[in-house]
Amino acid sequence: MKIRDLAIRKKFILAFSILLIVMLSGACILALLWSQINNYQKVKSDMAEIMMKFDKAQKIEQDFLIFGWKDPDFLNNGKSKFTLDFFTQLDLVEQEIQSKISSDFINDKSLSQDFHSILTSAKSYRSSFDELRKLLLKRGFRDHGLEGEMRTFVHEVQECISAEEKVFAFSLRRHEKDFALRKDMGYVDKLHNTTDEFISFIENAKTEEFPHMINSYKRSTINAIRAYRNHFDKIVQTEIEIGLNERSGQFLELNRYKNQTEPQISLLYSKINSKYQEINQKAFYVVISTFIILLVTIALLVFYLRKTVSKPIIKLDNITKKVLSGDSNVSKELNHQSVDEIGSLYRNFHQMLENLEENLHLIKEKNQSLEKKNTEDLKQNWIINGLSHISDLMKSSQSDLKDFSYKIISEVVKYIDANQGAFFILNDSNDHKEAFMELKGSYAFDRRKYIKKEINKGQGLVGQSWLEGDILYLTEVPTGYVNITSGLGEAPPRSIIIVPLKTENQILGVLEIASFKALEKHEKTFLKELSLRLGAVIESIKMQEKTNYLLKNSQEMTEQLRSQEEEMRQNMEELQATQEEMSRNEKTLHHKINFKNLQIDMMDGLLGKVYEGVLFFDHNFRIISSNNYVLKTLSYSEADLSGNHPDLILKSHIEKEIESLYNDPSFILTGVSERKESKIMDKYGSSYDCRYVLTKVEYNQKIYYSILFNKTEAEFGKKVLKHLFQTKKVNI
């Protein structure tokens, strides 16, 4: 029987059987490819996560090498937040890679070898970092490690006496600091030469010129110098092991493994991505091929069955054309309600369109995610390149703060495409004046603005940022705060950012940048990271300037001492001439002193006949003198009395009594109080009743008081006392 003689039902069965075979074949192939696409997509996402974690580990490593190794927690126990975070990130990377190696999906030998190679490099990178960590811990900082041990001998060397020794000690410290900053072995030779010269100077020093240069002093000083040099050499050897630069020592080893691991990860990511794209392309070709075969088959069936099933097939053909033209609303037209083969075809076709739209939507989302990641990588590279460029500029411009400030602010303004900037640096050199921010460099449209400006803490936006220690970012600039001038006139900026430059101890400067555009997030991140580096460099420059200033002063003082030595020689000649004149006046002065002592003895004897005890004290109520009665009868020594309060002997409120006497006209006129009664106490605690008076004496524009007392049974001679103190002022 011929096909054309078959019943319509069988024709449809045959036709749709052919269509079904084609569709199932394409669907099976597409399902297999789609499974592989999902697997590669997951591995690709995991590789992107590995790259991010490895990048984070590298950043933590850089932060640790810049300032983290100086953290007290690290120096105390060899661990810190930086090292723990670094090892945590590498653990995550190694775990991810190990999970991929043990996964059933990795059956490609080349991919498996790549994963093993990355794992080996990551472990080597970890070991190299750990070795560098141990070396930095051994080297130490300030009071820790080798540097802490060396500081003990530094203090011994600096405790020298003569100016020449201090110059040598200062030179040793300067060479030590220069080596620490520049890692130049030339400074090691300079320090060795200086120590040899220092030791030679001490060994050859004579006691006639330097009286303190006895043998014991020489031995102790030379031993301290040699111990200092030995510890410095240990630090130098450790620095060599660490690496004087990134191309030597442990730095070279660390960078080698790091630079080996990162490209391997990127290369493996590229391989996986290539396979992902390849399978995607195959899936696309399968879909297209399936559609083409279906269209051809449908066209043949329509041609053959046009008389029996023309209308449904024509309609389906029109729908297919709309799909190919990009019409996304054709699914509404697939509303054929029949339950025969044609209805099944409509429903299957409708499901196929939904799956296709869903797959295209997923592909679009993945592409958007990759574009976003690429944009973030570009921004991160922009930050890294900017920091590297500014760091190179900082290394070559550390001779002068003003020139350094101008170069840095001009480069920063240009790099972030801003319009105007100012660089303020802390000025705390005047001990009698509060510290302030001084404008050291400014930039606006490629012109320097030579203006003098000082900002106190809390003054304006710059002072507020200094006070709070945080970044200020304004998009609504206060009216009249600042205008940016160009060839077309003046206009206020759209945004202003003020960034404090911090170190561990204080804020050393402030950057102020104005721009016609709003700053993006990655530009703010760049300025924030740059501020940390600028703070450390400013501190280094200020320390260097202070060192140069001290060295210059030391040289000037040496010249001044030489001139003073000549002047002293001339003064000695004049002094010798005056000594003869003084010897002639000595006899005359001796007679006057003997006469004055006689007057004092007579006065003391007269007081002793009227009062038994006498105490003298100043306006601060501190005993300054007493008579023999207090020392012998009451058993006090001069050390017991000197500087103590009169209440030690006289048990009375002396301060209140003297304050009340200034309201007594008799005391104001005569300087002598009325007689009062109280108790006196000797050194061993025995007390006696007594009567006493208070007197006031003015000498050399200072007020002194005295207590004159007798035991109760003694006669009190107030008339004689008034005769002695009938005037307030005594000329001695």
Cβ contact 225:150 at 8 Å:
no
Residue 657: the pLDDT is 87
Residue 498: the pLDDT is 92
Cβ contact 411:393 at 8 Å:
yes
pLDDT over 60 (residue 718)? no
CA 126/CA 299 separation, integer angstroms = 65
Cα 237 to Cα 249, 487, 537: the distances in Å are 11, 59, 25
CA 285, 288, 290, 296: dihedral to nearest 10 degrees? -140
Residue 230: the pLDDT is 92
CA 583/CA 586 separation, integer angstroms = 5
Residue 3: the pLDDT is 57
**Mean local confidence (pLDDT), 672-676:** 86
Tell me the pLDDT of the chain averaged across its residues: 80
User: Which among 650, 668, 666 has a CA at the least distance from the CA of 710?
Assistant: 650
* Per-residue model confidence as pLDDT tens digits over 156-192: 787 788 888 888 888 888 988 888 888 888 989 999 9
Any residues with CB less than 8 A from the CB of 58 and at least 6 apart, and which?
Answer: 258, 262
Any residues with CB less than 8 A from the CB of 582 and at least 6 apart, and which?
Answer: none
Q: How would you class 56 by CB atoms within 10 Å of its CB: exposed for 0-12, middle for 13-18, buried for 19 or more?
A: middle
Structure token digits, residue 66: 């810049």
Residue 601: the pLDDT is 62
Task: Return phi, psi of residue 359, to 5°.
Answer: -65, -40
pLDDT over 60 (residue 240)? yes
Any residues with CB less than 8 A from the CB of 327 and at least 6 apart, and which?
Answer: none
**Mean local confidence (pLDDT), 514-528:** 88
Q: Which of the four pLDDT bands, split at 50, 70 and 90, describes residue 607?
A: low
What is the enclosing helix (H) or strand (E) of 131?
helix 109-139
- Out of 48-62, 343-357, 441-455, the most confident range is 48-62
Architecture, CATH, for domain 399-549: 2-Layer Sandwich (3.30)
CA 645/CA 638 separation, integer angstroms = 13
pLDDT over 70 (residue 127)? yes
Region of poorest pLDDT, from 116-130, 290-304, 352-366, 595-609 = 595-609
Residue 465: the pLDDT is 87
Any residues with CB less than 8 A from the CB of 702 and at least 6 apart, and which?
Answer: 618, 619
Residue 450: the pLDDT is 41
* Per-residue model confidence as pLDDT tens digits over 559-589: 888 888 788 888 887 887 787 778 777 777 7
Query: Which CATH superfamily does the domain covering 611-724 fall into?
Result: PAS domain (3.30.450.20)
Q: Count the neighbouring beta carbons within 10 Å of the beta carbon of residue 400.
A: 12
- Out of 102-106, 452-456, 683-687, 720-724, the most confident range is 683-687
Any residues with CB less than 8 A from the CB of 383 and at least 6 apart, and which?
Answer: 522, 525, 526, 529
Residue 339: the pLDDT is 55
Q: Where are the alpha helices (DSSP H) in 326-396?
A: 341-395
Architecture, CATH, for domain 145-249: Up-down Bundle (1.20)
**Mean local confidence (pLDDT), 300-320:** 68
CA 242/CA 135 separation, integer angstroms = 6
CA 308/CA 390 separation, integer angstroms = 81
Domains 145-249 and 611-724 share a fold: no
Residue type present at position 199 = I
pLDDT over 60 (residue 455)? yes
**Mean local confidence (pLDDT), 380-407:** 83
* Domain regions of the chain by residue span: 145-249, 322-387, 399-549, 611-724
CA 710, 712, 716, 718: dihedral to nearest 10 degrees? 80
pLDDT over 90 (residue 193)? yes
Q: What's the Rg (C-alpha) of the chain?
A: 48
**Mean local confidence (pLDDT), 600-622:** 75
Residue 499: the pLDDT is 92
The reported pTM is 0.37
pLDDT over 60 (residue 473)? yes
∠ Cα 719 722 723 (to 5°): 90
User: Which among 427, 385, 421, 431 has a CA at the least distance from the CA of 495?
Assistant: 421
CA 718/CA 29 separation, integer angstroms = 133
* Half-sphere exposure for 634 (CA within 13 Å, toward CB): 29
CA 491/CA 460 separation, integer angstroms = 20
CA 474/CA 41 separation, integer angstroms = 43
